[in-house]
Chains A and B, each alone.
Chain A
């Protein structure tokens, strides 16, 4: 087993990995950019080293600096977390060359899965189900028209090197195809330096369901159940759950077996996720494989009782999987809310800044993986994910109720967060009924103002307004010296009287 691991990441995931290291008696080495000196992952680490300016390209993406820290600190392995260098085959190779173990798959498996067309060719050989389409880039608009005619409209054009919705176009008719192909190709060229675009039948109102796999370096591969990730915005997941409301044990086993087949075809090792599109008839199609630990891994941990980061580290150190497929049992229901620094009143625009007050929930069935603390200044330079709030229950309904309760306890001031969005989703009838697809969240948000829609009937609002008015006065009376009541910005509170004046006035009232 390793004695020291470097964590090449920041935020909640770095904290989560550091915690696993501490639990396993392994020293954790953090790296940080200039704006992250006071970040939680630095505070929690055993050793920490600066790696450069705020811009990720000059710090968290700098392989040379990270490998230099590994060498200086004597770290034997590097955990890349998610994002940053986690799916960079060159980095995995550079680690191997430097004699440091990369906690993840081999560069070869990563490369195979990194190109969507190449992954598709390999998977077709292995007999994995696909959305009908081509497994190579389109040579000409005529070829595109011919294939689209064969598989039927609507079709989806996708960049081979793509991700995050870039270079993707939905095409409904033959007339639209040519110009959509041209713009997808030029966008792909701009975004990824590669204009290869392929074509697939568009699955209308699909669900996005993924399967967790784990493979050791001795040829054992297992699946650990699915995660329903259909609740997305701007191609970013917002809420995930395990198990999926529509997957029964038979479908789970079939998806799991396909996922294991995918992993084996790529000689995959360590933790990985096989993503599927699922159509309304519950047919599932291979989408892609994510060659890293996922943000939403905790829901699988709660429903399987396994610690995926512990297992990643044990696998990377050469241990065999300590269990077999038949030992894996799914129990209960877990759901994760991604708490982002985003302003719900301003189209979910990022909201960095100083956290002036933080009240965090706890109690039965609640897990919180957080990278923030009160007094911390959320930098503007990185992804806005602050924390993950995960609810666990005997069944889906209890998990929902526990999360609702915990969200009610959760309070963050100074910056804006999307906490109110989850209160709204969890109350929504379609969500509660498990009627989800990837268009769900856009439809919900198109349906009026979240802050208003989330509220009770008029008389109840009036009662709360009364309470707000009384509280405003009581704060001024009890805490007249606080910066808030002295702040002239709001005009009114500037005139909160001093203790002396108050005394004089209350006397005068008699």
Chain B
């Protein structure tokens, strides 16, 4: 199998949403006692077992790692020990993932609710100009208010959040273009 894997920096380094990072070419082939793994041209022998859902025991040249996989509202994360990386997996031959990759850099960006909560108020109106990092919507959970910020500079095309209503993780709050 051939994959392209984009590994973003350690999470916390990423402002919002999109994973930006290094592209790795990964080839995996079944071999005696595990897998032959070719990563960016370098070959190592590995063995991997899923020990429970979303937990992978990985042996790389005898070194043992426990990797946890987490799907958040917006990203896929790999936890190596207690270090967390945002990752994205692509099949290089898939046309769809190529198009998606190309389109991700610009164009409209959805602002998603990161956690369940209640929309308290809107900080901007539709069609207003916003800077990257500017607050768009205030969401309240556990008696704390949180500003959900714009991931980019642009124009607020649409606001779907309504004050007073409940939102779930992954719900679209607004779209910035």
Contact among A471, A474, A495 for B80, CB-based, below 8 A: A471
Stretch at the interface among A5-13, A198-206, A285-293, A450-458: A450-458
A234 nearest CB neighbor, chain B only: B144
B122 within 8 A of A: no
Stretch at the interface among A215-223, A268-276, A377-385: A377-385
Instruction: List A470-507 residues whose CB lies under 8 Å from chain B.
Output: 470-479, 482-485, 487, 489-497, 502, 505-506
A469 touches B26 (CB 8 A): yes
A470 touches B22 (CB 8 A): no
Instruction: List B160-174 residues whose CB lies under 8 Å from chain A.
Output: 169-170
B71 touches A484 (CB 8 A): yes
Proximity string of chain B (143-161) to chain A, C-beta cutoff 8 Å, 1 when within and 0 when not? 1101000000000000000
Nearest-Cβ distance from residue B72 to partner chain A, whole angstroms: 8
B131 within 8 A of A: no
Using A353-B115, A357-B53, A497-B91 as known contacts, say yes or no to A469 and B7 having CB atoms under 8 A apart: yes
Nearest-Cβ distance from residue A493 to partner chain B, whole angstroms: 5
A493→B90 CA distance, assembly (Å): 6
Determine the chain B residues whose CB is within 8 A of the CB of A476 once the complex forms: 1, 3, 89
Using A346-B146, A420-B82, A495-B96 as known contacts, say yes or no to A414 and B1 having CB atoms under 8 A apart: no
Determine the chain A residues whose CB is within 8 A of the CB of B50 once the complex forms: 475, 478-479
Stretch at the interface among A100-108, A136-144, A337-345: A337-345
Nearest-Cβ distance from residue A483 to partner chain B, whole angstroms: 7
A356 within 8 A of B: yes
Contact among A381, A467, A492 for B89, CB-based, below 8 A: A492
B118 nearest CB neighbor, chain A only: A380
A491 touches B82 (CB 8 A): no
A375→B19 CA distance, assembly (Å): 27
Among B6, B65, B83, B85, the most chain A Cβ lie within 10 Å of the Cβ of B83
Nearest-Cβ distance from residue B6 to partner chain A, whole angstroms: 7
A484 touches B76 (CB 8 A): yes
A465 touches B85 (CB 8 A): yes
B89 touches A471 (CB 8 A): no
Number of interface residues of B (CB under 8 A): 72
Nearest-Cβ distance from residue A467 to partner chain B, whole angstroms: 5
Instruction: List B129-145 residues whose CB lies under 8 Å from chain A.
Output: 141-144
- What bracket does the count of chain A residues touching chain B fall in? 35 or more
Using A350-B141, A465-B22 as known contacts, say yes or no to A497 and B1 having CB atoms under 8 A apart: yes
B107 within 8 A of A: no
B126 within 8 A of A: no
A477→B22 CA distance, assembly (Å): 21
Nearest-Cβ distance from residue B143 to partner chain A, whole angstroms: 8
B1 touches A357 (CB 8 A): no
Contact among B58, B79, B170 for A470, CB-based, below 8 A: B58
Interface majority SS (helix, strand, loop, mixed), chain A: helix
A359→B101 CA distance, assembly (Å): 34
A338→B41 CA distance, assembly (Å): 45
Among A341, A353, A497, the most chain B Cβ lie within 10 Å of the Cβ of A353
Using A380-B116, A497-B1, A506-B1 as known contacts, say yes or no to A484 and B69 having CB atoms under 8 A apart: yes
B105 within 8 A of A: no
B177 within 8 A of A: no
Interface majority SS (helix, strand, loop, mixed), chain B: strand
Nearest-Cβ distance from residue A203 to partner chain B, whole angstroms: 28
B46 nearest CB neighbor, chain A only: A470
Determine the chain B residues whose CB is within 8 A of the CB of A341 once the complex forms: 142
A121 within 8 A of B: no
A98 within 8 A of B: no
A509 touches B88 (CB 8 A): no
B47 nearest CB neighbor, chain A only: A474
Proximity string of chain A (332-368) to chain B, C-beta cutoff 8 Å, 1 when within and 0 when not? 0000000001011111011111001101000000000
B7 touches A495 (CB 8 A): no
A497 nearest CB neighbor, chain B only: B91
Contact among A346, A357, A452 for B10, CB-based, below 8 A: A452
Instruction: List B92-121 residues whose CB lies under 8 Å from chain A.
Output: 94, 96-97, 100-101, 104, 114-118
Instruction: List B6-33 residues whose CB lies under 8 Å from chain A.
Output: 6-7, 10-13, 19, 22, 24, 26, 28-30
Using A352-B142, A484-B54 as known contacts, say yes or no to A471 and B78 having CB atoms under 8 A apart: yes
B115 touches A477 (CB 8 A): no
Given pairs A476-B1, A490-B19, 4 additional interface contacts (CB within 8 A)? A465-B22, A470-B39, A474-B56, A509-B2
Residues of B participating in the A interface, judged by any CB pair closer than 8 Å:
1-7, 10-13, 19, 22, 24, 26, 28-30, 35, 37, 39, 46, 48-50, 53-56, 58, 60, 65, 67-71, 73-76, 78-85, 87-91, 94, 96-97, 100-101, 104, 114-118, 141-144, 146, 169-170
